[in-house]
Homo-oligomer: A and B are copies of this chain.
Amino acid sequence: MIETYLTHLECGLTGKRYDADRLQNLSEAGKPLLARYDLARAARAVDRDALAHREETLWRYAELLPVRDTQSRISLGEGYTPLLRARALGREIGHDRLYIKDETGNPTGSFKARGLALAVSRAKELGARSVSVPSAGNAAGATAAYAARAGLPAHVFMPRDVPELFVHECRALGAEVRLVDGLIHDCGRVAAEEIARNAGRFDLSTLKEPYRLEGKKTLGYEVAEQMQWTLPDVAIYPTGGGTGLVGMWKAFDEMEALGWIDGKRPRMISVQSDGCAPIVRAFERGDEFAKPWEGARTIADGLRVPVAVGDFLILRAVRESGGCAVSVSDDAMREEVYRIGRTEGVFAAPEGGATLAALRRLKESGAIAPDESVVLFNTGSGIKYHHIID
């Protein structure tokens, strides 16, 4: 049995300490709880180079993950996705050291599998009797899958206009599906009302429990390991709830404390849609928190997130890294989905297309130099968004 070095939880805003071994949602300040580890002990016990012989899933980083007992792992083979060198795409846009972290091969076809594998494993380990999640689509599918494998009933709440495919996926996986008028935060409200009436049902909303973040942070561990324990100059990440970006920044902190990487960090670029860009607006205004975006509209369902509870964590990481937040149009996303597909053979989600649109924009403005190494995060398969293709 591999030992986790998990010690406690900490409020992301106030730093107040919480018990890691009971079910927890937000802190008393209403902010995300972050999992903390004894990194000094972990540094002595874990040799980064010995990881190479472990299974190619996110569980290879088990000492830095919160699950206590290996028997509690709910796994469908998530993580350790390919970091593809994008040579043909790079030639086309004049960028040599270009990579795509391709999340399409995860269970249920998106990066959501990472967070939900951890969150469901840990919820079950700590005694949850059922789980609940509001979602634009992909998180619902992942929740349904892991809850089914865990033997826990799942209740998923999606906007009424979600593509039918996501509804079918959740039903095939045995989840109870509720369609809600409005967007993801409206789904969150209805889900919360039902949780209040159902003892033992645990809320897995983005950053409203501590462990989805722990799953998402493995994106950062993997990129470092796949680049031989270095990091790229620039990481371009499509931002809805922002868990991946916040998670990677946390992973970089941890890996530096572990002595696995030096202090050189990528500039973190947060990409949103012109039709829903609360983080971009807050970044430009110099705000610590992001105001809700009114009338959110975009073809990238994962970016249609008008309110992010982790807004200050996203903005903090972007600023500390020397990065920026930019928005792109739906037309540009669609065009770049075709470009990635045609040149690299990856059918990217529109969110993945958004990262390429951002790269092209930032190359034009000179914010990214042609010789810098860049990783684009394609967060899911385009197949679930195939309706955007002619």
Residues of A within 8 A of B (CB): 52-53, 55-56, 74-77, 80-82, 84, 88, 102, 104-109, 141, 144-151, 164-165, 168-169, 171-174, 337-338, 341-347, 381-384, 386-387, 389-390
- Check A345 against B386 for contact (C-beta < 8 Å): no
State the majority secondary structure of interface residues on A: helix
Known: A80-B56, A172-B341, A172-B347. Contact between A107 and B105, CB under 8 A?
Answer: yes
Of B105, B164, B345, B390, which is within 8 A of A173 by CB?
B345
Chain B residues near A389 (CB, 8 Å)?
168-169, 171-172
Chain B residues near A56 (CB, 8 Å)?
55-56, 80
Chain B residues near A84 (CB, 8 Å)?
76-77
Min CB–CB distance A364 → chain B (angstroms): 24
A381, closest chain B residue (CB):
B109
Chain B residues near A150 (CB, 8 Å)?
345
Of B53, B105, B151, B387, which is within 8 A of A168 by CB?
B387
Min CB–CB distance A139 → chain B (angstroms): 14
Min CB–CB distance A142 → chain B (angstroms): 9
Chain B residues near A80 (CB, 8 Å)?
56
Chain B residues near A108 (CB, 8 Å)?
347, 383
4 more A-B residue pairs beyond the given contacts A146-B345, A168-B386, A172-B386, with a C-beta to C-beta distance below 8 A: A77-B105, A168-B389, A171-B390, A172-B341
Min CB–CB distance A107 → chain B (angstroms): 7
CA distance A56 to B55 in the complex (A): 8
A-B CB contact pairs (8 Å), 15 listed: A56-B56, A76-B84, A76-B102, A76-B346, A145-B347, A147-B345, A165-B383, A168-B386, A172-B337, A172-B338, A172-B341, A173-B341, A174-B341, A174-B343, A383-B384
CA distance A53 to B56 in the complex (A): 11
- Check A346 against B145 for contact (C-beta < 8 Å): yes
- Check A76 against B345 for contact (C-beta < 8 Å): yes
CA distance A174 to B89 in the complex (A): 13
Of B104, B145, B171, B174, which is within 8 A of A107 by CB?
B104
Of B77, B344, B383, which is within 8 A of A148 by CB?
B344
Shortest beta-carbon contacts, A-B, top 6:
A174-B342, A149-B345, A77-B82, A168-B386, A168-B389, A148-B345
Chain B residues near A342 (CB, 8 Å)?
148, 173-174
Residue in A105, A165, A172 with the greatest tally of chain B CB atoms within 10 Å: A172
A165, closest chain B residue (CB):
B386
Known: A345-B76, A347-B145. Contact between A164 and B109, CB under 8 A?
Answer: no
Chain B residues near A165 (CB, 8 Å)?
383, 386
CA distance A389 to B164 in the complex (A): 10
Min CB–CB distance A302 → chain B (angstroms): 16
- Check A145 against B345 for contact (C-beta < 8 Å): yes
Min CB–CB distance A222 → chain B (angstroms): 12
CA distance A52 to B54 in the complex (A): 9
Min CB–CB distance A146 → chain B (angstroms): 6
Chain B residues near A76 (CB, 8 Å)?
82, 84, 102, 345-346
Chain B residues near A106 (CB, 8 Å)?
105
Chain B residues near A387 (CB, 8 Å)?
168
Chain B residues near A53 (CB, 8 Å)?
52-53
A171, closest chain B residue (CB):
B389
A342, closest chain B residue (CB):
B174
CA distance A142 to B367 in the complex (A): 36
CA distance A337 to B383 in the complex (A): 20
- Check B172 against A382 for contact (C-beta < 8 Å): yes
Chain B residues near A343 (CB, 8 Å)?
148, 174
A164, closest chain B residue (CB):
B386
Of B88, B146, B169, B386, which is within 8 A of A347 by CB?
B169
